[in-house]
DNA sequence: AATAAAGTTTAGGTAAATCTAAATAAAAGG
DNA sequence: CCTTTTATTTAGATTTACCTAAACTTTATT
């Protein structure tokens, strides 16, 4: 496996994320948005990553990871999520604090360290946001076939993941008492703005916007 | 405290190390040697660090850290040594494996994470090589007034630190059964090459070169 | 199909951190 | 004190990862 720069790793990870979110071929603009950079910079990097055979890329046709690119992505994601577990489980950070730190820790490349960290943490299967952790071979549990709350049909639900890791969202969820494993009763869905009124045990009912509900992944219970 | 690049942090740390080793003013060449770079690059960086008021520097006169530079150095060293403790105590690495990993982990700057890591480790006072760990305020236990084995007068000694962190030396010490806390009996000192014959409990006596003995810090027992 | 709008690439630059080779200053030796 | 050696700095390039502005493609809209 080639040696990637930090910038290259961040690109690979973002391409993986956008592909996973359903983009057939990842567009220059989408990637620029995800990485908070300019489209021209993305084009530059695309040429380099193509040269290194980590992506397939033709002018104006968008980007897709090659098999090798996917392998690299999964290895970065593994490190990212394991460090998030460490920060939450061992250093007692809360889930909204760990993403940015893991964004840096993920770039320390050592298979031995990564595997020992995993073992030390008891080989966790999901990270603090409910996302699955790839194993040492790059196999990831479930490809996340999760229902967002705004599309769930059932009345009684359990929170299994959040898809947005912004401090803003996670702090909002903290304030409302919503975390992984929280059980939710849907009281009412309002069609005009797709807001949802819901209730959590021992708490008054409250309403959340579609913006929020589409980032909460749930399963029926 | 200003935001330093990884390169700047590595320079600051090396300047601190060379000052600590006794260099009145750190020379361009010494620093280039320590950082495995070229003197011309050091001159470039010296200008930048002077601009940022982290060092005192006049052309041809060598380099010294300012108070602010020292504070920055101690903060980097704190992170470095805490991560080394983590790797050895929690991930079960051996002392020759951790320096290079810590060289990268040290650049993740988060006071909160650093302090939590310290707490998680039980606020250790020394790292796996016997070096003191600065506290959150940048105070470092003892300024290392340690005797190297080749200058020790006493016959019975205890190993308290190693001053060279190269894998080569540390693996040699592993092979000989020398680690922190090991008790040594000096059997003979040979003047012609300053080699030392010594003995460790339950092991045949053996001889080490001055190259080795000057990197083993000891105290009498 | 023609045109407008949106998306993407190219051209040309900048800043950081490096390098080599040449110039210059300091130190050492006689 | 003069000269040689050693140390240091400058000048000029290179690489990586960005950027803006202009040119070019693709796509959507009349
Ligand atoms: Mn990252
Ligand atoms: Mn996560
Ligand atoms: Mn370092
Ligand atoms: Mn150490």
Write the pLDDT tens digit of every residue in B51-63.
999 999 999 999 9
Instruction: Provide the phi-psi class of A60: left if phi over 0, else alpha when psi is between -120 and 50, else beta.
Output: left
Note the pLDDT tens digit of each residue in B56-99. Answer: 999 999 999 999 999 999 999 999 999 999 999 999 999 999 99
Work out the pLDDT band at A146, boundaries 50, 70, 90: confident
Ligand 4 centre and the CA of B200: distance in Å? 24
| Residue B212, in any domain of the structure | yes
User: Which of A91, A112, A113 lies nearest to residue B120, judging by beta carbons?
Assistant: A91
Query: How confident is the model over A67-90, as pLDDT tens digits?
Result: 999 999 999 999 999 999 999 999
CB B83, CB B133: distance < 8 Å: no
Query: Which of A93, A104, A117 shows the shortest C-beta gap to B91?
Result: A117
Q: Is residue A126 part of a domain?
A: no
Name the domain boundary from B14, B49, B65: B65
Gap from CA of A162 to ligand 2 centroid (Å): 9
Provide the pLDDT for residue B22. 86
Instruction: State the pLDDT at residue A74.
Output: 98
Put residue B167 in one of left, alpha, beta given phi > 0 → left and psi -120 to 50 → alpha: alpha
pLDDT at residue B1, as a whole number: 73
User: Residue B53, by phi and psi: left (phi above 0), alpha (psi -120 to 50) or beta?
Assistant: left
Three state DSSP letters for A149-205: HHHCCCCEEEEEEECCCCHHHHHHHHHHCCCCCCEEEEEEEECCCCEEEEECCCCCC
CB contacts < 8 A (A, B): 35
Examine residue A39 and state whether it is found in any structural domain, yes or no. Answer: yes
Its domain, for residue B34, covers 6-65
For the record, the structure tokens of A126 come out as 């999901």
Q: What is the DSSP string of chain A?
A: -PPPPHHHHHHHHHHHHHHHTT-SSB-HHHHHHHHTS-HHHHHHHHHHHHHTTSEEE-TTS-EEE-HHHHHHHHHHHHHHHHHHHIIIIIS---TTTHHHHHHHHTT---HHHHHHHHHHTT--SB-TTS-B---TTS--S----PEEGGG---SEEEEEEES---HHHHHHHHHHT--TT-EEEEEEEETTTTEEEEE-TTS--EEE-HHHHTTEEEEE-
CA distances from B127 to B5, B92, B95, B141, B161 (A): 25, 14, 9, 12, 9
Per-residue pLDDT at B143 exceeds 70? no
The answer to whether residue A193 scores a pLDDT higher than 60 is yes
pLDDT for the residue numbered A129:
96
A101 contact B CB<8A: yes
- A117 interfaces chain B, CB cutoff of 8 Å: yes
From A92, A97, A120, residue closest to B90, measured CB to CB: A120
The predicted pLDDT at position A199 comes to 95
Given B31, B65, B99, the domain boundary residue is B65
Q: What percent of chain A has pLDDT over 90?
A: 89
Residue A122 within any structural domain of the chain? no
Kindly tell me if the per-residue pLDDT of B6 is higher than 90. yes
**Tally of domains within chain B:** 2
Nucleic strand D contact set for B 9-48 (CB, < 7 Å) = 27-30, 39-40, 42-44, 46-47
Q: Looking at B17, B39, B65, which one is the last position of a domain? A: B65
Answer yes or no: is A121 within a domain. no
% residues pLDDT > 90 (chain B)? 89
Question: Across all residues in chain A, what is the average pLDDT?
Answer: 95
pTM: 0.94
CATH number, domain at A61?
1.10.10.10
Q: How far is the CA of B147 from the centre of ligand 3 (A)?
A: 27
Tokens 């290392």 locate to B144
Assigned domain for B24 exists: yes
- Residue B125 inside a domain? The answer is no
- Domain for residue B187, yes or no? yes
Residue A143 has pLDDT above 70, yes or no: no
The model's pLDDT over A172-184, given as tens digits with 9 standing for 90+, comes to: 999 999 999 999 9
CB within 8 Å of B188: residues ≥ 6 apart = B196, B197
Query: For testing the chain A interface, which of B84, B85, B101 should be mutated: the one with the most A CBs within 10 Å?
Result: B101
C-alpha to C-alpha distance for B177 and B165, rounded to whole angstroms: 16
């Amino acid at each position: 496996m080639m040696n990637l720069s930090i910038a290259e790793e961040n690109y690979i990870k973002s391409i993986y994320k956008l592909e996973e979110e359903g983009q057939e071929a990842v567009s220059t603009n989408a990637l620029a948005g995800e990485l908070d950079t300019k489209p021209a910079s993305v084009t530059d990097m695309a040429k380099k990553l193509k040269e290194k055979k980590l992506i397939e890329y033709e002018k104006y046709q968008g980007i897709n990871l090659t098999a090798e690119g996917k392998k690299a992505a999964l290895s970065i994601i593994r490190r990212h999520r394991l460090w998030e577990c460490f920060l939450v489980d061992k250093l007692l950070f809360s889930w909204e604090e760990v993403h940015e730190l893991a964004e840096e820790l993920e770039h320390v490349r050592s298979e031995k360290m990564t595997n020992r960290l995993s073992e030390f943490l008891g080989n966790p299967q999901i990270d603090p946001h409910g996302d699955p952790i790839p194993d040492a071979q790059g196999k990831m549990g479930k490809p996340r076939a999760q229902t967002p709350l705004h599309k769930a049909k059932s009345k009684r639900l359990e929170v299994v993941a959040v898809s947005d890791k912004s401090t803003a969202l996670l702090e909002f969820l903290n304030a409302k008492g919503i975390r992984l494993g929280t059980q939710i009763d849907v009281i009412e869905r309002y069609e005009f703005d797709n807001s949802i009124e819901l209730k959590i045990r021992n708490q008054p009912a409250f309403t959340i916007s579609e913006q929020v509900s589409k980032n909460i992944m749930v399963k029926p219970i």
